[in-house]
Chain A
Amino acid sequence: MDAILKTENLVMTYRVGRVDVNALRGVNLSVGRGEFVSIMGPSGCGKSTMLHILGGLLKPTSGKVIVDNEDMAGMTDAERTDTRRRKIGFVFQRFNLFPTLTAEGNLRLAEQIHGNGKKVVDEEVRREVLRLLRLENKMRHKPLELSGGEQQRVAIARAIITRPAIILADEPTGNLDSENSEIVLEMLQKLNRELNQTIVMITHNPEAAAVAARTVHMRDGMIVGEK
């Protein structure tokens, strides 16, 4: 299978005072183009750390992180930022929208950063994404005027509108009630199927994990199984 994302023996050690915290101890993960993978595991097992490394927000202590043929482990901060801009879309548990901007403004900002001064977003894609996420009528609202589920859908739209190689979602339903969780998961699944969008999603919830084609289990900084 054509891997769009691959880690080799990924190690991450946080240094807290004189104590070393081994958050990742040799993770080998491979995600194919167009795949929807969920990652499960107990709190503190290193899921978020791994996601941050995959998205270039953190530099691993050792090992390789290959995103769309670029090894991010060997990059400088600025190079990782640039790779993130071009290839990664993040979705967070806390939505992380700009509260002072409308949904439209939040999307435009992401497009602006992604385009690096150029206009790069295809209006066709834009319309399709908003349709899939059922956001057509929400774009003029500010985040606080939207429900949690709607806010997360705006955040997903923001992540996907620039058509990143990979979407990295860290417990995207962690702040949502079950009804909204279902809607959001269903939409992620649709985006995966209809736009062939690669998604890596962390979750606590086995039902959430079930929407993904493959689930990876982690424990104590290692991958311990797959389904």
Chain B
Amino acid sequence: MDNLVASNIRQRPTRTLLSVAGVALGVVLIVLNTGLVEGMLNDRIKRERGVGAEIRFGRSGAMLSPSSSNPVDVRYADRLMKIEGVGQVSPVGYYIQSGNSGLGMEIVEGVEFESYSAITGAKVVEGNAPKTDQEVMIDEFKALHNKLKVGSDIQVFGETKKVSGIYSPQVGSRIKMPLSALQNALSAEGKCFEILVKVKDPEKQDDVRQRILDELPGNEILLTRDLGVGVGREIPGIKGFVRAVLVLSVIVSALVILLAMYTTITERTREIGILKSLGASKGFIIGVIEKEALTISLIGVLVGLIISMIAAWALERATTLQLEFTWSWILRAGLIGLGAGALGALYPAIRAANKDAVQALSYE
């Protein structure tokens, strides 16, 4: 193509490549991180929905985001059992630790395996349910992806524990230990995060929920089927994290383009003088530089998306992480890449447009 923008882009391949890499990095940051967050949330929601309990009983305000605070007294379990329509209950404790690959986070559940199994249908398929505080069990998926077997070592609470068994199907979190062991480790005697409630007749879950609300007021009672629509779409600190990623990505992309275009306009001072001698307006000159930056950014966005797809594929193969890309985030990442590029080029473009024509023409 024989035009100024295209020929300038080809003229400096190294500069173009570096700028493309900068914008691509910004896009990868957004797409991978939001993909991880979406993947984690949806994966978790899927497994939570598979638990088989229609109702979850917990402390008001605490249930929206899982945490290691276990505010619910397990004695509520007995009181729940007495409510009409309740078939089975099982208290569950939470401990949140960072993911085994260093990415994301992982929930460890403390369960009373008998009642938990009665509600969820989870069965030990290899080895045994944990018997001591030093043992945990994991689901098949984790065993497969982290290459763990019965007897393998696993890090929980920052300690090395043993895998005593593998259970199936995947429900709730991927690591489970006896509730008593979790309580001991967290010094939370007699406490849990929530109590799973299975009703006798799923058709009547709304009535049962209402009865629990009436009889045990001041608690939060969620329906599992509502998980994922606002409820349970929270991970501690996730909004701040995503925002930080966005800001970082904008800064990286904009700075890279700013530096690239700034050196460009210095290098091409005389050409800017020529444009002026031809009668090019400030708007025209700003346009030329912005078009160049936008073209570079567009290539950066495309490269970033391709790298993200490859990285996601590699991550899913190497870890238990599940990434989910949404069109909305891909679109946003693209727009952020382009926007940051345009923004970064603005200052150099305005400087170029304001150069003195005669001085620019005599620039060596």
Interface, chain B (partner A; CB < 8 A): 2-4, 7-8, 10-11, 270-271, 273-282, 284, 357-358, 361
Contacts and interface: CB of A to CB of B under 8 A. Distances in A.
Given A52-B358, A57-B358, A96-B274, A78 B282 contact: yes
B271 A98 contact: yes
Contacts of B274: 96-98
B274 to A, nearest CB: 5
Given A96-B274, A101-B7, A82 B357 contact: no
A114 interface: yes
Contact of A113 (B2, B275, B358): B275
A114 B279 contact: yes
Contact of A85 (B2, B4, B11, B279): B279
A58 interface: yes
A94 to B, nearest CB: 8
A88 interface: yes
B224 to A, nearest CB: 61
Given A57-B357, A92-B361, A100-B11, A109 B276 contact: no
Interface residues of A, number: 27
A84 interface: yes
Interface in A153-168: 158
Top-6 shortest CB links A-B: A85-B279, A100-B7, A105-B2, A84-B279, A57-B357, A90-B277
Nearest to A92: B361
Nearest to A158: B278
Contact of B2 (A57, A86, A101): A101
Interface string A36-59: 000000000000000010010110
A4 interface: no
A104 B2 contact: yes
Given A57-B277, A88-B279, A96 B7 contact: no
Nearest to B273: A96
B361 to A, nearest CB: 7
Contacts of B11: 100
A19 B350 CA distance: 31
Contact of A108 (B2, B273, B277): B2
18 contacts: A57-B358, A81-B281, A88-B279, A92-B277, A96-B270, A96-B273, A97-B274, A100-B4, A100-B7, A100-B10, A100-B11, A101-B2, A104-B2, A105-B3, A108-B2, A109-B4, A113-B275, A113-B278
